[in-house]
Structure formats: structure tokens, C-alpha cells
Amino acid sequence: MEQRIGFCRAADGVRLAYAVHGTGPPVVRASTWLTHLEHDWVSPLWRHWLVELGRRYTVIRYDERGCGLSDRDVPVSLDRWVRDLAAVVDAAGVSRFDLLGVSQGGPLAVAYAVRHPERVRRMIFYGAYARGRLRRSAVGREEAKMLVSLVQVGWAGQSPVFRRAFAQLLLPDGPADGIEAAVELQRLTSSAAMAGRIRHVRGGIDVRAEAAGVATPTLVMHARHDQMVPFEEGRLLASLIPGAEFVPVDGRNHLPLPEQPAWRQVLDRTVAFLERPDRSGRPPVVLTGRELAVLRLVADGLDNADIARRLSLSVRTVERHLSNVYGKLDVSGKSARAAAAARLPGLAVDGPA
């Protein structure tokens, strides 16, 4: 399964790396810590997410500022993260999509959905929260300070001992190769200073008030014995979002590993939720026979001149058909052509080509 990596600029000029892979309706993963667009494909923490979702959906994800292939040593804040998500979806050419908030991507997804309700069709959270450790309790504040110190020392030192301690919080029931993969991902993702900065800002986030304003259908899943984000925080998030569904998942790992039953439960509930009939009243996307014929040739890799010759049309007519398709699918920008082609499976047609 191949991915296409691109770059865009955030509102403040920071360069963000994003990737697109898979086929089907668009699913966007809000940025979370410890990702690397290239390394994720060999990581036991993320590969199964990418493969399974890519079989059903067009998956759009990005390395958050300061991490992975995006610019390093940059300022961070919730507002900047929300604007970064907006920049990425615009660059990817999707106007309406499902939003996935895993772990620290959760509060970001909440803030984005409240500011841009017309863009988000459905939201799914796993291991997420509405408030950082600094906002929870005196114990939470002490834990937050301890984790920042652990991260700064662990990332800066040559010994992997401290990074391994953090990895074991993520995966207390993880196999040895999973723990080592998490240790390696920490090393690749960001510098000690950047990692500490991100942890500190994340700890102070509080979107409880915003969560009450979410109007998007939402599914919240959380491991019962999550060692990184307590189960109570996932339950709180679900209780704050009107109409949200809450699904407890067995296990202690912050991220479900592919060989564990929790992963199958998370995947099955995710797919069932995203593919549930839409009750929003929006009409289904229906293309004319000619529009469908043009889009099929786009998916085959033909340019507009080749399509015109194949269908005995003028180039201008082909462009008009594509413009109609983009409007019906609600895609735009430089990546509209690829985004439209990715939506081809399952589109309805109302007449002969």
C-alpha cells in the first residue's frame, strides 16, 4: 500500500508533512505525538491502523509540528495545532471528512470540530481526553511534571533506559518488540527540548467547555486500565459530547497492538460506526454516466487531453465534467483530482455514459 507524501505551510509558516493512502471516503487522523510518516509503516504501534483503515478509506494523516518530517524546533499551542489541521485538510483537497482523534489528537479534534462543524461528518476517539494532567488534580500536576522531566532526560541521554520507561507506560502489556519500537519512535520523532515542550503544553489543555458544543456524531473508545490516560478521562470526554457513544475496551495498553483482542474490537466498532447510514439528511452523491466515465479515466491515470481523445470530447468539456464531479464530492484544491478518484468505489450513476 503506497502513500503520497506532500508538504504544506501552516498559518504561521511552519512546514507540515502530510501523507495520503488508501481508497474510499476520507478519514483524517488528527495529529498526535510519536508519529513519523515513513517509520509508521514498519512500527507495530501504527502499521495495523494504516493498513486496515487504508483498505476501506482514503487516510490522511500528518506529522505534527516539531515531529517526524514536519519542521522541528517550533512554537506549539492548541490554537496552532487546530490551524495546522485546517491547513492539512485544505492541502489534501477534502472538504468533508471523518475525524480520528487518538490519544493527544482527541482535544485537538474536539476544538477543530467546534470551529468547523461543516467539515466533520463523524468523529472517533480512542485513548483520548478533554483535559491534560495539569488540569486534573494535584496528583495529576505532579505526574505531568514528572513526565516532562522523564521525556527531557530520556530524549537527551544516550541510554534508552528512560525512553523505555516511558514506552512501558504506553504498552504495559506490550511484547519486547513493541516496547523497543516505541523506544525507537521516541528517538526518531522529536528532540528532547521539543518533546518536553509538547508534553508541557498538552498537559495544560482543557476543552471541556468546547466539548459541550460538538454537534458531530461521535464514538469514544477507551481501554479500561489505560496506564497513560486514565479510563475516567475517556468516560468524561464521552459524557461532555452531546449524544456521544462510549465503548469500554479491555486492556491496559494505551495503543492496542495488532495481536490483541482489543484491536479487533476497536477496528470493528470504528468501521461499523463510520459505515452506519447517514441520518444527516444529506442526499447521496450521484454522478451522471459521463461524469462517472471521466472519473474512471482519471483514476486510470489519464490526463484531460487523453480523456478527451478517449471519449471523443473537447478538453473544455472534460474540464466541465470534472468541475461538476468536484462540486458533488465537495473536494477542492491541488489534490482534488486524487481525492475524487479515491471516492470512485461505490458512487451511484443516474444515466448512461
- The pLDDT of residue 345 is 59
HSE (CB half, 13 Å, CA atoms) of 297? Answer: 20
Query: Are domains 3-274 and 286-349 of this chain identical in fold?
Result: no
Candidates 93, 87, 75; CA nearest to 30 is 87
Give domain 286-349's CATH number out of 1.10.3080.10, 1.10.3210.10, 1.10.10.10, 3.90.1150.10. 1.10.10.10
Instruction: Compute φ and ψ for 165, nearest 5 degrees.
Output: -60, -40
Over residues 279-325, the pLDDT tens digits come to 655 556 677 888 888 988 998 889 999 999 999 999 999 999 999 88
Instruction: Name which of 96, 61, 2, 6 is nearest 334 in CA terms.
Output: 6
Domain regions of the chain by residue span: 3-274, 286-349
Phi-psi region of 14 (alpha: psi -120 to 50; beta: other; left: phi over 0): beta
pLDDT for position 250: 95
Q: What is the pLDDT of residue 166?
A: 75
**Positions of the chain with pLDDT under 70:** 139-140, 144, 150, 152-162, 279-285, 334, 344-353
User: 3-state DSSP call for residue 117?
Assistant: coil
- Give dist(CA 310, CA 331) in Å, integer: 25
Q: What is the pTM of this model?
A: 0.78
CB crowding 12-38: b at 16 or more within 10 Å, else e: eebebbbbbbbbbbbbbbbbbbbbbbe
The fold of 3-274 is Rossmann fold (3.40.50)
pLDDT of residue 205: 94
In 3-state terms the chain splits into helix, strand, coil percentages (rounded to 5) of 45, 15, 35
Are 140 and 241 contacting, i.e. CB atoms less than 8 angstroms apart?
A: no
Q: Which residue, chain included where needed, has cell 447510514?
A: 277
